[in-house]
């Protein structure tokens, strides 16, 4: 409508216009990038580990008594655990997804390959591993009890059979059936894939090959240390955790039971940085939007108060209430649009800087137009109160005010 005269009037109070415009620009640039980062973090946090997390916990046992026999204790512990009420299954394992510590290994399709075909993690489990973790076997079979080797810590790993995650199977043998195929783990050790599980993540949430995991059938205490994963019946995890801690402590006093950690806790710890980042950025976004909205409300209120007589005069000259309302809405639209155009440039520049400084991915193009529309709406919403107040200025103000 009357954009031209509003714009020329605005040009006479440049400072306030520039301040609000700049605020809008910065808000757009920061909010777009912050939202994108939050989205990425949430996406990361949303990745399934591939195992049952709600009913599973993990703990270690550390022998200290002279003559402590870790391998036999381990087998006795497992038998005990599997017999306890509320326990669905239990398995030894050196590590778990999300636990942030584990064994990495290269896999080749030929012996002694110069560069491995894929980087995997090794989970050392027994024939109860698949059932305890709750990952789905989608091809092949599980380990047999007789396939589980006893390995001494420090020995070379020479598994005869392995189970791999589906993602790893597809990397190794794209479009083919991986079951029955030979791969080389640990340089020249030929081993046969006997099964594929639907999904199993590596322990490291930052890993580039997080979906590549290998289950190896082996008992291998680290010195006198052993670790167990236990899955309980749904809803009984906490109760079983307490019972296990007590029972295992009682049955063998030559060792210490380490801290019991539920998978829920392990996941929370693994992603604590991401969650903190999302919360901080969310707070920043909220604060910026609130400050911008309040800035607009404040500026518009000030202008309405300052121009009361002018509004009355316009009414006297024939402006309807709607005309006055639209005047302030249009004015806000002009200021936010100018700010948003600058903000769009700033948003992409900021994204570029993040890309260079932190190897961040490029801001998808649609964030800025969406932010544009949202801030337009925010601006219109913020100006609505003052604009309505302006529209209610009585025309008699034109002759009455001094």
Partner 1 sequence: MLKMTHLQKVYRTHLIETHALRDFSIHVRDGEFVAVTGPSGSGKTTFLNIAGLLEEFTGGEYWLDGVDVRGLDDNARSKLRNEKIGFIFQSFNLIPDLNLFDNVDVPLRYRGFNAAERKRRIDEALTRVGLASRMKHYPSELSGGQQQRVAIARALAGSPRLLMADEPTGNLDSLMARGVMELLEEVNRQGTTIVMVTHDPELAARAQRNVHVIDGQVTDFDEAPKLRDPDAASRGAEAVAANG
**Tokens linked to 255:** 């060792």
Among 189, 313, 330, 337, which residue interacts with partner 1 (rule: CB under 8 A)? 313
- Asked if 389 interacts with partner 1 (CB under 8 A), we say no
Among 316, 341, 360, 374, which residue interacts with partner 1 (rule: CB under 8 A)? 316
Identify which range of 78-86, 221-229, 250-258, 308-316 contacts partner 1 by CB under 8 A: 308-316
Among 322, 357, 359, 366, which residue interacts with partner 1 (rule: CB under 8 A)? 322
Q: Which one, 2 or 176, has the nearer CB to partner 1?
A: 2
**Tokens linked to 346:** 């700033």
- Asked if 105 interacts with partner 1 (CB under 8 A), we say no
**Tokens linked to 153:** 């810590």
Min dist. Cβ of residue 309 to partner 1 (A) = 7
Min dist. Cβ of residue 402 to partner 1 (A) = 7
- Asked if 147 interacts with partner 1 (CB under 8 A), we say no
Min dist. Cβ of residue 396 to partner 1 (A) = 5
- Asked if 267 interacts with partner 1 (CB under 8 A), we say no
Q: Quick one: which of 156, 60, 56, 50 has its CA closest to 101? A: 60
- Asked if 15 interacts with partner 1 (CB under 8 A), we say no
- Asked if 171 interacts with partner 1 (CB under 8 A), we say no
Min dist. Cβ of residue 10 to partner 1 (A) = 8
Min dist. Cβ of residue 358 to partner 1 (A) = 46
Place of tokens 């992603």: 271
Q: Which one, 263 or 304, has the nearer CB to partner 1?
A: 304
Among 67, 318, 358, 359, which residue interacts with partner 1 (rule: CB under 8 A)? 318
Min dist. Cβ of residue 343 to partner 1 (A) = 26
Min dist. Cβ of residue 292 to partner 1 (A) = 24
- Asked if 283 interacts with partner 1 (CB under 8 A), we say no
Identify which range of 5-13, 51-59, 111-119, 282-290 contacts partner 1 by CB under 8 A: 5-13
Place of tokens 């009420």: 85
- Asked if 334 interacts with partner 1 (CB under 8 A), we say no
Total of residues contacting partner 1 (CB under 8 A): 26
Give the span between the Cα atoms of 329 and 385, in whole angstroms. 10
- Asked if 321 interacts with partner 1 (CB under 8 A), we say yes
CA distances from 243 to 32, 50, 63, 202, 229 (A): 49, 27, 20, 29, 15
Q: Which one, 194 or 304, has the nearer CB to partner 1?
A: 304
Identify which range of 7-15, 82-90, 189-197, 341-349 contacts partner 1 by CB under 8 A: 7-15
- List contacts with partner 1 (CB under 8 A): 2, 5, 8-9, 12-13, 309-310, 313-323, 394-396, 398-400, 402
């Amino acid at each position: 409508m009357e954009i031209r005269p509003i714009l020329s009037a605005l040009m006479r109070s440049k400072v306030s216009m520039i301040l609000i415009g700049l605020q809008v620009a910065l808000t757009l640039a920061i909010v777009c990038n912050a939202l994108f980062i939050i989205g990425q973090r949430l996406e990361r946090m949303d990745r399934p580990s591939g195992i049952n997390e709600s009913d599973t916990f993990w703990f270690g046992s550390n022998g200290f008594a002279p003559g402590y026999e870790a391998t036999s204790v381990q087998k006795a512990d497992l038998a005990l655990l599997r017999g306890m009420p509320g326990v669905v299954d239990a398995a030894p394992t050196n590590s778990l997804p999300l636990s942030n510590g584990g064994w990495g290994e290269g896999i080749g399709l030929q012996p002694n390959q110069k560069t491995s075909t894929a980087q995997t993690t090794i989970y050392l489990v027994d024939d109860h591993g698949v059932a305890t973790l709750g990952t789905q076997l989608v091809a092949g079979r599980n380990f047999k009890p007789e396939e589980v080797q006893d390995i001494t810590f420090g020995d070379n790993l020479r598994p005869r059979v392995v189970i791999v995650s589906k993602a790893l199977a597809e990397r190794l043998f794209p479009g083919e059936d991986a079951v029955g195929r030979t791969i080389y783990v640990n340089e020249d050790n030929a081993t046969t894939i006997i099964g594929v599980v639907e999904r199993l993540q590596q322990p490291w949430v930052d890993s580039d090959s997080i979906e590549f995991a290998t289950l190896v059938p082996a008992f291998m205490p680290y010195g006198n240390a052993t670790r167990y994963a236990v899955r309980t019946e749904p809803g009984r995890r906490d109760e079983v955790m307490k019972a296990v801690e007590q029972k295992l402590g009682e049955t063998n006093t030559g060792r210490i039971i380490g801290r019991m950690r539920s998978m829920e806790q392990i996941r929370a710890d693994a992603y604590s940085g991401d969650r903190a980042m999302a919360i901080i950025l969310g707070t920043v976004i909220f604060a910026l939007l609130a400050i911008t909205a309040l800035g607009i409300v404040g500026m518009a209120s000030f202008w309405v108060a300052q121009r009361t007589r002018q509004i009355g005069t316009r009414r006297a000259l024939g402006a309807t209430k709607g005309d006055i309302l639209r005047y302030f809405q249009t004015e806000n639209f002009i200021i936010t649009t100018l700010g948003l155009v600058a903000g769009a440039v700033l948003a992409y520049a900021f994204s570029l800087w993040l890309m260079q400084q932190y190897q961040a991915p490029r801001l998808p193009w649609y964030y800025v137009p969406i932010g544009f529309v949202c801030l337009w709406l925010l601006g219109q919403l913020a100006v609505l109160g003052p604009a309505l107040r302006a529209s209610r200025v009585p025309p008699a103000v034109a002759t009455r005010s001094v």
